[in-house]
Structure 1
Amino acid sequence: MGKMRIIIEKCTTRFRTELHGKLDTLSPKARLAVITGMLVPFAAGCLYTTATAIAGFGKSEKELEIRHIENLNLPVQESDNLYDNVYGNEKRTEE
């Protein structure tokens, strides 16, 4: 596990330094173009996902079915006293 972590950290550091090197050479207009180029497809995907979710809301192949929660068959305890249930049915003397 330790070797894998070291390898991942080395790859991350190398990727980060190369990316910083390439981005530092860009002019401000080029940086703006890169950011815009990434933002437009992301925004389009978000709008498409939202629009298809709203348009398809309530549409399904089968009719809505309401199911009720069934009764559970739980074992019945003889005593409702928590002390008896935990420590046994021994009689306690009240002081």
Structure 2
Amino acid sequence: MAEIAQQVKEIIAEIWRESPAGKDGTWQEIADDVPLYALEEGEESLGLDSLDALEIAMVVEERFDVVLPTEIEPADIRTVRQVVELLNRLLAEQR
């Protein structure tokens, strides 16, 4: 899980730096359970938005050669931990 988590964090950090709410952060600064984007005003998050979330999903699909299920809602993959858990499940299903 650690290797996948690092790769996911690197993807997020790259998009985070390019985002309007971006920061010159590194993947090491991204905690596993901090929301990537807020669902409610004032909620603590990295400050990404729905377009950033879509970009993360597309890069994850390409980098890991998986297809995210269409029934996945943005709220289902709001943290690094949730993205990694989903990836582990999808990769296991491919074996």
> Larger Cα Rg: Structure 1 or Structure 2?
1
TM-score in terms of structure 1 length: 0.22
User: Greater RCO between the two (CA within 8 Å, min separation 6)?
Assistant: 2
TM-score in terms of structure 2 length: 0.22
